[in-house]
Structure 1
């Protein structure tokens, strides 16, 4: 049973990562995606991640901790630790906080900035994979599947953003697609580490679940939401977030 759970978890992590490539597919059929549509999609992604964090990581963390004040304190410590972990990575790993640069604002260093953005997406895919791996590693396959679906959904607009940024720098469709795919393949690595962490230290399950939740909350607040408010379409992005949250909540309850 353990082997089958690990196998299903690995498949789930690969699926979540491959969704990045699914998001990049439209570059073969269109030359441009408006800020309006991309901000709406990214808002949806933020809502999906937020719901997955709440219902598939934080709530199970408190439940596995036995409920009560001690469980809440342990979960809180895990959330804060996850946020601090991502903050340190954010500070010391070179990357750029941008999805697009408007053509009229592009500069000679725009290509290097695009690559710094790709590094940022790759770095932030790791805690997402970690969360999926932890979900499966907890032994609750339904939580793992819910997280894999949620992370997969939010990876779609990220893959599109990476591919479009590269197309703006005159990369071919094939190269842009392949690079977007590679950014998502970090997630299975994070997933394997997450499952191993649970298998090695089962008593630490509540803390590790909360750690993954804190890392994801940091990404949502520090990266995704600010990006959706940069181009004047914040209301569309906000409704996208609401719809994403509701859809992920329904999926979580249905699967659970």
Structure 2
């Protein structure tokens, strides 16, 4: 199961490259399209956090273990974002002062996002439920596609070639197997850790959604398009979760 969970998180991470490959075939998309795409990714993550992580955590461990897990995951990612310098195209540079180039700061930002996503996939398989883990892997892979697009094109604006922008976007997705391996390994140590692990991944993802992705999508005046993307992504992930449950 550890191998399956790690491979599933790897495939979900590689989906970032599917979105990024569009840099070779289409002109630069509009800000409306990018914001709607990122909104879609946020909607998928929100539904995955709710139906695939939080609800099972409550069913397995009860409400208070779930609360502890969510808070722990949120605090973990909050400090990771404070301690690791990173940048978003609209929000700018965050974290401690650094001399890293803006391209590297973009890479670090998406890496911070992808780690809890990979962990979510791994933890999803940690309970031994292949259907639940597969639902999460499909959902995370689905939302990684617009993220890849949203990473690659800003890199073009920063002066990267199309090949380099694609490669960087693809590589940022490869952090997910590490998160997946860690997640499934930890919860495999004991079933009592499963609700904490599920809720931990959910808390980290909720912070990414509310502090990073949604504010980013609403910062250029494309609120309606971004909101439609969120709702569409939420619905699609909700359907996936019910199909595989």
Whether TM exceeds 0.5 here: the answer is yes
- What is the DSSP-based 3-state SS (H/G/I as helix, E as strand, rest coil) of the residue aligned with 1:12? helix
CA contact (8 A) 1:45 1:154 kept: yes
- What is the DSSP-based 3-state SS (H/G/I as helix, E as strand, rest coil) of the residue aligned with 1:231? coil
Q: Name the CA distance, whole Å, in 2 between partners of 1:203 and 1:126.
A: 23
Q: Name the CA distance, whole Å, in 1 between partners of 2:32 and 2:5.
A: 35
Deviations 1:141-186 (A, max 9, x none): 1111111111111111111122112212332221111111110000
Q: What does residue range 87-102 of structure 1 map to in structure 2 within 5 Å? A: 87-98=78-89
TM-score where L is the length of structure 2 = 0.93
Deviation of 1:99 after TM superposition, in Å, equals: 5.3
Alignment equivalent of 2:129, drawn from 125, 140, 154: 140
Q: What does residue range 42-57 of structure 1 map to in structure 2 within 5 Å? A: 42-57=38-53
Q: What's the counterpart of residue 104 of structure 1?
A: none
Change in CA separation of 1:121 and 1:227 when aligned onto 2, cut-off 3 Å: same
Q: Name the CA distance, whole Å, in 2 between partners of 1:176 and 1:27.
A: 8
Q: What's the counterpart of residue 9 of structure 2?
A: 13
Q: What's the counterpart of residue 214 of structure 2?
A: 225
Q: Name the CA distance, whole Å, in 2 between partners of 1:19 and 1:172.
A: 20
* Structure 2: unaligned runs, 5 residues or longer: 93-99
Q: What's the counterpart of residue 176 of structure 1?
A: 165
Q: What's the counterpart of residue 25 of structure 1?
A: 21
CA contact (8 A) 1:99 1:165 kept: no
Q: Name the CA distance, whole Å, in 2 between partners of 1:96 and 1:176.
A: 16
Q: Name the CA distance, whole Å, in 2 between partners of 1:227 and 1:123.
A: 15
- What is the DSSP-based 3-state SS (H/G/I as helix, E as strand, rest coil) of the residue aligned with 1:96? strand
Q: Name the CA distance, whole Å, in 2 between partners of 1:24 and 1:41.
A: 12
Alignment equivalent of 2:54, drawn from 30, 42, 58: 58
**Number of residue pairs aligned between Structure 1 and Structure 2:** 239
The structure with more radius of gyration = 1
- After superposing on structure 2, the runs of 4+ consecutive aligned residues of structure 1 that deviate more than 2 Å are 5-8, 97-101, 111-115
TM-score where L is the length of structure 1 = 0.89
Q: What does residue range 62-211 of structure 1 map to in structure 2 within 5 Å? A: 62-65=58-61, 71-98=62-89, 112-211=101-200
* Structure 1: unaligned runs, 5 residues or longer: 66-70, 102-110
- What is the DSSP-based 3-state SS (H/G/I as helix, E as strand, rest coil) of the residue aligned with 1:170? coil
Q: CA RMSD in A?
A: 1.7
- What is the DSSP-based 3-state SS (H/G/I as helix, E as strand, rest coil) of the residue aligned with 2:86? coil
CA contact (8 A) 2:68 2:196 kept: yes
Q: Name the CA distance, whole Å, in 1 between partners of 2:229 and 2:151.
A: 20
Which one is further off, 211-220 or 193-202? 193-202
